[in-house]
Amino acid sequence: MPARLEITLKPDLFDAEGAAVCKKANDYFGFGLESVRTVSILTIDIDLTEDQLEAIRTEIFTNPVTQISSYKPLAIDFDWILWVGYRPGVRDNPGSTAAEAAEDLLRIGLKPHEAIYTSKRYCLKGGNLSFEHADRIARELLANDIIQQWKVFSGEDWNQDTGVGIIIPKVRLDHKPIVTDIPVDSDKTLMHVSKERGLALNPNDIPTIRSYFLREDVLEQRRAFGLSTPTDVELEYISQARSDHCNHNTFKGLFYYRDLSTGETELVDNLFATCIEEPTIAIKKQKSWVISVLWDNAGVGRFNDDYYYVITGETHNSPSNMEAYGGAITGIVGVYRDPMGTGKGSRLIMGMYGYCVGPRDYHGELKPHLHPRRLLDGVIEGVRDGGNKSGIPTPYGQVLFHKGYLGKCLVFVTAVGLMPSQIKGAPAEEKATSPGDLIIMCGGRVGKDGIHGVTAASESFSVHTPAGHVQIGDPYTQKKMHDFLLEARDQGLIAFITDNGGGGLSSSIGESSQFSNGCVVELEKGPLKYEGLDQWEIWVSESQERMTVAVTPEHQERFMALSKKHAVESTVIGSYTDSGKLHITYDGRTCAYVDIDFLASHFPQWTFEAEWTPPEMRGLVEPELAAPDNAPGLLLDLLAGPNICSKEWIIRQYDHEVQGTSVIKPLVGKDRDVISDAVVIRPVLDSFQGLAAAQALLPTYSEIDTYHMVACAIDEAVRRVVAVGGDPDHIGGVDNFCWPNIQYDPDDNPDGKYKAAQLVRANRALRDICADYGIPLLSGKDSMYVDGYLKDGKGETHKVSALPTLQFSCTSVVSDITKCITMDCKFAGDLVYVLGETGNELGASEYYEHFGHVGLNVPELRPGSLMKLYQALSRAIQEELVASCHGIYRGGLGVHLALVAMGGGLGMEIDLSRVLTTGAEQDHVILYSETPGRFIVTIDPKNRSSFEELFDTLPHACIGKVSSKTELVINSLKEKPMIHVPISKLKAAWKRPFGELV
């Protein structure tokens, strides 16, 4: 008989969680709730005696100081009660740890069908709520129907004896696993099966696949193992390996590129090879610090002789868009497995985030699945729990609001790791599988999670079907595995390691057996979350927190003993061979037998038509804007813009100091509340070296030209790391593309050709700027279908495509962290310099956006001597001539002068007439133009000549000084004071939009 334990805070204790729900319900929906109290529920589906139940209640689940609990429903005053629990098969992390603790205390072992499930009861008071109101709180604030179920009780519905009832969300499949043979008699048949089963095979690949399985020699080999036509396991394997996600078919595609203004056409063959691979290989030859790129789960750069750093970036857009918390936590925890699976494994040392969402206060006609405000809350919390509970600092991040992301949000997650350069005398970045090595799966168990991702979302639910296609990452299980694998690595027990992410075992084993040239997998050995999975489901399941490791047989015992010590499940599920075959069996019967080199055979290249319409032809013009009447008011308005203003509330939810490595924090300045250009950590605690990191994205520039969007984003990320003391000669890059679908379709995607041209131009900028700056692309990913279909109030569907977006991440090694600097001005009397020239480049700027314009003059990067400028600045910082340094980014000089002043808590007197310009001839253009390549620097006046000497012919100008009067004073070109605002007022405006959030 299952038991239900209710636990709540003693009545006189403040219920912070309940208070937060109450505040959100009132703020978001305008309800007048008076209070919310929360009750935690454990539904214990374990055969226990009364005494045992009482023991776990008092010893584990009830804090005698703060809590009360009972196996009967607790009597708490309410007007409405909401109960929220998980659907079957959704990862219930606290449920698992509860079971673990019960086993520990009672010294029992749970039987396979036994478990503990957690859920919550909310007791709402006040507000004269109707059922609809209460249900709305459940639906739009507390639960997401994709992963959760809920009940609403009024006073009349509620029975104090039975409470919420006993709900056990257990998965029961009652299904006998079965392998299905797929007919391949014609292309049409196979295409039909592909659609029916959600295989997502590309029509162009189908003839290649068919001809392989119809080859006489193949048929004969297969017959020996009882196989004829391909099995579902085999086609799933091929489908996963050929997917755009795994194979980057779009980037490797053939583009027929046409410029509609000139009529010129050209053939662009393989963006990946020409814009990413070849330039990076060329730079690797020049820069010995580039250790390993383009093949592993993440890129590797040298930190010093003893250590390498490892970096990669991912996106987790679609899942986050459906279930923000689950998608985001799965994203961050998932990307952390990439460095863990790079080389022989690395320790995680830093995470970064980037969120692009619809306007937080959106109240338009369209109805996204989750309102941007709720979506952002969920994403923030998912990355918070994923990072904090992994013990990895999350010091850097960015948030961008734009209506284009209403259709699909973007969630960028970036992971940085550290590995010793040698492990037991062998290079740590190298790994291989060899015949005879055991295939070991470590970490979590296999369920129906993530299978066919989004296609599963449209399936209907029954009471016991697992809702596992949207997952909830489990940082606790992964942290245990992380610690275990590092210890195993250091003992030399790991020959090869990779993660199970997209494609699950199919990808990890498929790719790792390329090294040994074969494998035998016994699928029935894979530990399952519940019975009833088909063989193909075990093979492609994307259940999280799993790694695949190759271990030689002589190390098996030690590896398994370590695994046990760390309370991590590890299972031998097969071995690597040199048979040339991927061979999968289930209970001794072969269910897949495919040539390892089949995937290397010639699959047709994807092709795209790309048509570039230059901005003038699209009707974009430069608006004629008069100088603003109220210059100070305008500056305050810009500071309060959602994409400029303070987001301290997010930053402080992320542990940015764990590991004790923090050097330059995300928030800096006198009051420790202004956002730093970049962050620096000291990942090797007894070294004075540091790692600087920053990211940038400028998607609004895509409205004019994606070439400049990419160029400026790269430049911004570079300037950010240089501004804190990074070395411009050691900059590693990570490109993360998020693009709308570029395949032209007259009905569904009429501007597909234009979007394809935008992608070509973006890649060219990536190639050009990285070559000019000497940046190797250590890692990169692309997410190609950032479109959403939203209904409006009338039920009509609208397609919303995101702006083509590139997030660029930069890392740089700092040779001496004590030379690092922050962006806040430090002393009154210091001189204020602007490095670089300011052009008339307000196109797609924050300034134009504020007035509802796009414009034409998009900021353009003119690389030329910019690197020389950055090198000179770097020398000035190394010679300790600089008191503060801050790049000029979105919002332009005006906004960023204000930030430097706010950071220092000091005033500034600035003369615009002293700013070096090219074509910027009006005050507001100089103040708000977003020309790249510029910095604001303050220096001690006594350093003036040594500082200026370093810049010699490079563009630099002293434009004023820091003052003890805490006011920002800006004099116009006509040398009249045009802005004269106290710093406190600037900061108040900058903090106003989100200042109340904690």
Partner 1 sequence: MTQSDTHDKSVNVLVLTGYGLNCDLETAYAFELAGAVSTRVHINALISGEAVLKDYDILVFDGGFSWGDDHGAGVLEAVRLKSNINEAMYEFIGDGKLILGICNGFQALVNLGLLPGFDGDHKARNVALTFNDCGNFRDDWVSLLGNPDSSCVFTKGFTRTEFPIRHGEGKFYASPKVIERLIDNGQVVFRYAAPNGEPAHGEFPFNPNGSAHDIAGICDPTGRIFGLMPHPEAFNHWTNHPDWTRVKESVKRQDKSIDFELTDGIRLLKNGVDYIKAAF
Structure tokens at 801: 């495509």
Of 69 and 865, the one with the shorter C-beta distance to partner 1 is 69
Determine if 475 is a binding residue for partner 1 (CB under 8 A). yes
Of 63 and 162, the one with the shorter C-beta distance to partner 1 is 63
Selected binder of partner 1 within 2, 198, 391, 995 (CB under 8 A)? 391
Structure tokens at 691: 């790692």
Give helix 324-340 / helix 372-388 axis angle, nearest 10°.
Answer: 30
Interacting positions 715-744 with partner 1 (CB under 8 A) = none
Residue appearing with tokens 């290079």: 427
Interacting positions 847-886 with partner 1 (CB under 8 A) = 880, 883
- CA distance linking residue 852 with residue 405, whole number of Å: 18
Selected binder of partner 1 within 479, 581, 708, 767 (CB under 8 A)? 479
The three-class DSSP label of residue 869 is helix
- CA distance linking residue 110 with residue 604, whole number of Å: 52
Shortest Å, Cβ 828 to partner 1: 12
- Give per-residue burial for 902-914: e unless 16+ CB within 10 Å, then b: bbbbbbbbbbbeb
Of 16 and 426, the one with the shorter C-beta distance to partner 1 is 16
CA torsion through residues 569, 573, 578, 584, sign = negative
The contact mask relative to partner 1 for 484-523 (x = CB under 8 A, - = no) is ----------------------------------------
Determine if 32 is a binding residue for partner 1 (CB under 8 A). no
The full DSSP string for 370-417 is: S-HHHHHHHHHHHHHHHHHTTT----EEEEEE-GGGGSS-EEEEEEEE
Of 790 and 983, the one with the shorter C-beta distance to partner 1 is 983
Interacting positions 667-696 with partner 1 (CB under 8 A) = 667-668, 670, 672, 682, 685-686
Selected binder of partner 1 within 19, 76, 166, 645 (CB under 8 A)? 19
Cβ-in-10-Å burial (0-12, 13-18, 19+) of 629 comes to exposed
Of 51 and 132, the one with the shorter C-beta distance to partner 1 is 51
Using the rule CB under 8 A, give the single segment among 216-224, 401-409, 625-633, 664-672 that binds partner 1.
664-672
Residues pairing with 413 in the sheet? 314, 353
Of 541 and 661, the one with the shorter C-beta distance to partner 1 is 661
Selected binder of partner 1 within 321, 390, 507, 577 (CB under 8 A)? 390
Interacting positions 894-953 with partner 1 (CB under 8 A) = 940
Of 152 and 310, the one with the shorter C-beta distance to partner 1 is 310
Of 388 and 513, the one with the shorter C-beta distance to partner 1 is 388
Of 66 and 455, the one with the shorter C-beta distance to partner 1 is 66
- Report CA-CA distances (Å) from 503 to 236, 482, 499, 537, 539: 9, 21, 10, 10, 8
Selected binder of partner 1 within 389, 753, 781, 896 (CB under 8 A)? 389
Interacting positions 319-348 with partner 1 (CB under 8 A) = none
Using the rule CB under 8 A, give the single segment among 142-150, 445-453, 660-668, 756-764 that binds partner 1.
660-668
The three-class DSSP label of residue 304 is coil
Selected binder of partner 1 within 189, 662, 840, 922 (CB under 8 A)? 662
- CA distance linking residue 344 with residue 488, whole number of Å: 10
∠ CA 252-265-786 to the nearest 5 degrees?
Answer: 45
Using the rule CB under 8 A, give the single segment among 64-72, 263-271, 579-587, 623-631 that binds partner 1.
64-72
Of 388 and 577, the one with the shorter C-beta distance to partner 1 is 388
Interacting positions 291-320 with partner 1 (CB under 8 A) = none
- CA distance linking residue 755 with residue 739, whole number of Å: 8
Q: Where is 233: in which H helix or E strand?
A: helix 232-242
- CA distance linking residue 711 with residue 815, whole number of Å: 27
Q: Are 124 and 39 in contact (CB under 8 A)?
A: no
Interacting positions 197-226 with partner 1 (CB under 8 A) = none
For partner 1, how many residues bind (rule: CB under 8 A)?
72
Structure tokens at 100: 């673990």
Shortest Å, Cβ 34 to partner 1: 17
Shortest Å, Cβ 772 to partner 1: 31
Residues pairing with 586 in the sheet? 589
Shortest Å, Cβ 898 to partner 1: 19
Determine if 425 is a binding residue for partner 1 (CB under 8 A). no
Interacting positions 244-283 with partner 1 (CB under 8 A) = none
Of 556 and 662, the one with the shorter C-beta distance to partner 1 is 662
Structure tokens at 985: 């007022």
Residues pairing with 788 in the sheet? 800
Name the DSSP class of 860.
Answer: -
Reduced 3-state DSSP string for 687-715: CCCEEEEEEECCHHHHHCCHHHHHHHHHH
CA torsion through residues 262, 263, 266, 268, sign = positive
Of 412 and 654, the one with the shorter C-beta distance to partner 1 is 654
Among 715, 771, 766, which Cα is nearest to 888's?
Answer: 715
Using the rule CB under 8 A, give the single segment among 8-16, 301-309, 331-339, 844-852 that binds partner 1.
8-16
Residue appearing with tokens 């009024």: 154
Selected binder of partner 1 within 61, 401, 603, 754 (CB under 8 A)? 61
Among 568, 596, 597, 566, which Cα is nearest to 583's?
Answer: 596
Selected binder of partner 1 within 109, 660, 793, 795 (CB under 8 A)? 660
Shortest Å, Cβ 714 to partner 1: 26
Using the rule CB under 8 A, give the single segment among 63-71, 203-211, 308-316, 367-375 that binds partner 1.
63-71
Interacting positions 530-589 with partner 1 (CB under 8 A) = 565-567
Name the DSSP class of 33.
Answer: -
Selected binder of partner 1 within 1, 14, 161, 267 (CB under 8 A)? 14
Q: Are 236 and 540 in contact (CB under 8 A)?
A: yes
- CA distance linking residue 592 with residue 868, whole number of Å: 57
Query: Taking the mean position of all CA atoms in its chain, how far away is CA 576?
Result: 33
Among 962, 961, 956, 775, which Cα is nearest to 876's?
Answer: 956
Name the DSSP class of 461.
Answer: P
The contact mask relative to partner 1 for 628-657 (x = CB under 8 A, - = no) is -----------------------xxxxxxx
Shortest Å, Cβ 159 to partner 1: 27
Helices (H) and strands (E) in the chain, counts: 28, 43
- CA distance linking residue 90 with residue 113, whole number of Å: 16
Selected binder of partner 1 within 1, 49, 50, 65 (CB under 8 A)? 65
Query: Taking the mean position of all CA atoms in its chain, how far away is CA 18?
Result: 29
Selected binder of partner 1 within 13, 178, 432, 617 (CB under 8 A)? 13
Of 158 and 827, the one with the shorter C-beta distance to partner 1 is 827
Shortest Å, Cβ 297 to partner 1: 22
Give the helix ranges, DSSP H, for 669-826.
Answer: 706-723, 752-773
Interacting positions 368-387 with partner 1 (CB under 8 A) = 384
Selected binder of partner 1 within 27, 34, 47, 59 (CB under 8 A)? 59
- CA distance linking residue 710 with residue 712, whole number of Å: 5
The contact mask relative to partner 1 for 82-121 (x = CB under 8 A, - = no) is -----------xx--xx-xx--xx-x--------------
Of 16 and 214, the one with the shorter C-beta distance to partner 1 is 16
Interacting positions 788-827 with partner 1 (CB under 8 A) = 817-818, 820-822, 824, 826-827
Q: Are 717 and 809 in contact (CB under 8 A)?
A: yes
Shortest Å, Cβ 430 to partner 1: 25
